[in-house]
Amino acid sequence: MNLEKYFSEKTGIGVIATSNNKGVVDTAIYSRPHVVAKNEVAFVMRDRLTHENLQENFHANYLFLENRQGFIGIRLFMTKINESNDHALIDSMTRRNLSPEEDKARGEKFLVRFKVNKVLSLIGGEEIAIN
């Protein structure tokens, strides 16, 4: 599977699952990731619970449910590589169209990069090779 092609062609709903160092799990709706390399994705995120959990536990899972009939999609098993608060870089990757005032009122943003360790189909345990 080519992740860049997949996420440029598919629409749907994405959910990130993270947990803190005590194993308390959180889930949050997130847009499609930015594919930055063959097995690397990035998300723009605010300093909320998902981001907070990733400071303690670098592992996360992203579930993407395609916007079509049935339960079709993929699950990405990921490990955080690093994060940046470079405003120019984040602005270039932000997809929402908020006014500068609205954006600032919602809080600081970070670009969080992940290595994709494994891709599984949404239903079942079929592993999908990344190419």
CATH code, domain carrying 54? 2.30.110.10
* % of the chain with per-residue pLDDT over 70: 98
* pLDDT reported for residue 100: 78
**27 vs 6, 8, 48, 54, CA distance in Å?**
23, 23, 11, 12
pLDDT score at 4? 97
Total domain count, the chain: 1
Q: What's the one-letter identity of residue 25?
A: V
8-state DSSP, 119: E
Q: What is the mean pLDDT of residues 21-38?
A: 96
Handedness of CA 42, 62, 76, 131 (dihedral sign): negative
pLDDT of 72:
95
**What SS3 state is found at 4?**
helix
3-class state of residue 120 by DSSP = strand
Enclosing H/E stretch for 87: helix 87-93
Q: Where do the DSSP E strands lie in the chain? A: 12-19, 25-30, 34-37, 40-46, 59-66, 73-84, 109-121
Q: What is the pLDDT of residues 67-107, one digit of tens each?
A: 999 899 999 999 999 999 998 899 888 866 777 788 788 88
Query: Rounded to an integer, what distance in angstroms lies between the CA atom of residue 78 and that of residue 49?
Result: 17
Residue 130 lies in a domain: no
Instruction: With respect to residue 64, please indicate whether it lies within any of the assigned structural domains.
Output: yes
The average confidence (pLDDT) of the chain is 94
Q: Determine contact, residues 42/32, Cβ cutoff 8 Å.
A: no
Residue 129 domain flag: no
Average pLDDT over residues 23-44: 96
pLDDT single digits (tens) 41-50 = 999 999 999 9
Domain holding 19, by residue range, is 3-121
